[in-house]
Amino acid sequence: MTPTKTKSKSKYRAVKITAIVIAAVLVVLFAAATIIVSVNMNKQFGRADYYPEESSVEYLYSHYESEYPRENVTFTSCGNTLQAYIYGSDNDKGLLVFAHGISSGHERYLNTLMWFVDNGWRVFTYDATGSGYSGGEGTKGLPQSALDLDAALDYIEADPELSALPRFLMGHSWGGYAVTAVLNFGHEVDGVASISGYAEPVEMIYEFAKGVVGGARPLLYPSIWLYNKMLFGEYAGLSAVDGINATDAPILIIHGTEDETIGYTESAIINKRGDITNPNVQYITLDGCTHRGMFDTPEGGAVKQEINEKLAAIAKEAGYKHTSDLLPDPSDEVKAVFSAADLDAVNEPNVEFLSQIEDFFNEILEQNGADGEAA
């Protein structure tokens, strides 16, 4: 064998070995990334049960029960039985279908929902998969909220009394995505209000990953995509923007500029205005507002901040990473924080904010009444 051939063969062998090493490293990195994604997502999408009343900043149903009776109904979503509720059963202004945020249930929004009941709306709401009083080992993932709302609307459309009412959707965060993404399924609605919603599941998870791994986030993207695809199959990429563009129904998109959970200039629906072609979409930007801050009055927000500061001090002293770790089984010290706080102020509905949504809905009702149209 000539020296040239020997040299060429050695070079080929070196390239082959290098390629094998690189491939092995990539496999190891992908496996590590998949483990990181799986561990964090399983934790993020676990059960979302209600905190005890002694450690809940929001008044739960026991506070409203004497004045606001509710009808309990159930429906099935993805094999799980979901608990749903109808408030204001005698109201006939319209049916407001509400989808709540993740890591909570609908009762965390009761002050808002009862305000709509007081203003003549019949409210249909539910605890989503793995949340509150509904079935499911966990909340599963970000597309799940749209699948649950799809099942809820199937139930409503099969009910002669409920389906006869003008139909409006309103949701926050996980639910803000749901009320727009569900429009991909062809449901007829009169109007939609999406509050603090994200546009696409994978993009939202990718944004969340920034707070977990920082600059290493790009390495996780393939695992994030695969994780979501394996869980949700054809619905993994269910898009809020596609849903909005699939209808000509009026839609109100609301988002705060200081949203710490769904970035206003990142995965928020409002950041996708250039991709939205539905001509009947309106946008409200709330300057300086956080992810859920729009629901608070100034007084209520101040009380919440005071509660959070006190809980943060207790958590630090006890060695907890998050204040939420204190709430499922509250100590006497934690209970004392809540019992001393002005929870009436916290649970006062932000009428100025909610009136903007109702004005939007009322205008649709008036227009549909003049046109003789309804969903």
* pLDDT tens digits for range 156-199: 999 999 999 999 999 999 999 999 999 999 999 999 999 999 99
pLDDT mean across residues, the chain: 91
Same domain, 329 and 290: no
Report pLDDT for 373: 47
Whether the Cβ atoms of residue 183 and residue 192 lie closer than 8 Å to each other = yes
Same domain, 287 and 315: no
Residue 305 pLDDT > 70: yes
pLDDT above 70 as % of the chain: 86
Would residue 215 count as lying in a domain?
no
Per-residue confidence band for 223, with pLDDT thresholds at 50, 70 and 90: confident
Average pLDDT (370-374) is: 51
Same domain, 69 and 155: yes
Question: Distance between CA atoms of 274 and 41, rounded to whole angstroms?
Answer: 30
Would residue 86 count as lying in a domain?
yes
Question: Distance between CA atoms of 97 and 94, rounded to whole angstroms?
Answer: 10
Per-residue confidence band for 116, with pLDDT thresholds at 50, 70 and 90: very high
Range of the domain at 321: 298-348
Report pLDDT for 215: 66
Same domain, 250 and 314: no
Query: Encoding tokens for residue 176?
Result: 């803000």
Would residue 29 count as lying in a domain?
no
- Among the residue ranges 119-123, 213-217, 231-235, 276-280, the one predicted with the least confidence is 213-217
86 phi, psi to nearest 5 deg: -120, 120
Same domain, 186 and 242: yes
Same domain, 304 and 287: no
- Enumerate long-range contacts of 268-271, CB under 8 Å, 24 or more apart: 268/196, 268/197, 268/198, 268/199, 269/176, 269/177, 269/180, 269/194, 269/197, 269/198, 269/199, 269/240, 269/241, 269/244, 271/199
Same domain, 266 and 190: yes
Question: Distance between CA atoms of 335 and 78, rounded to whole angstroms?
Answer: 37
Same domain, 310 and 359: no
Same domain, 113 and 162: yes
Would residue 114 count as lying in a domain?
yes
Report pLDDT for 219: 77
Same domain, 193 and 311: no
Average pLDDT (307-320) is: 96
Average pLDDT (318-337) is: 95
Report pLDDT for 374: 45
Q: Please write the tens of the pLDDT for every residue from 183-193.
A: 999 999 999 99
| Helical spans, DSSP H, in the chain | 3-44, 61-64, 110-118, 144-157, 160-163, 174-181, 201-213, 217-232, 240-245, 298-318, 332-340, 343-346, 351-371
Domain count for the chain: 2
pLDDT above 90 as % of the chain: 80
Same domain, 362 and 316: no
Report pLDDT for 40: 63
Would residue 266 count as lying in a domain?
yes
Residue 140 pLDDT > 60: yes
Residue 291 pLDDT > 50: yes
Report pLDDT for 42: 66
Q: What is the pTM of this model?
A: 0.90
Residue 25 pLDDT > 60: no
Same domain, 341 and 360: no
Residue 82 pLDDT > 80: yes
Per-residue confidence band for 3, with pLDDT thresholds at 50, 70 and 90: low
CATH of the domain at 360: 3.40.50.1820
Would residue 322 count as lying in a domain?
yes
Report pLDDT for 44: 74
Would residue 359 count as lying in a domain?
yes
DSSP code of residue 107: G
Residue 346 pLDDT > 90: yes
Q: Please write the tens of the pLDDT for every residue from 117-133.
A: 999 999 999 999 999 99
Per-residue confidence band for 217, with pLDDT thresholds at 50, 70 and 90: confident
Average pLDDT (228-248) is: 97
Whether the Cβ atoms of residue 109 and residue 195 lie closer than 8 Å to each other = no
Would residue 91 count as lying in a domain?
yes
Report pLDDT for 38: 55
Report pLDDT for 32: 55
| Helical spans, DSSP H, in 74-120 | 110-118
Report pLDDT for 13: 72
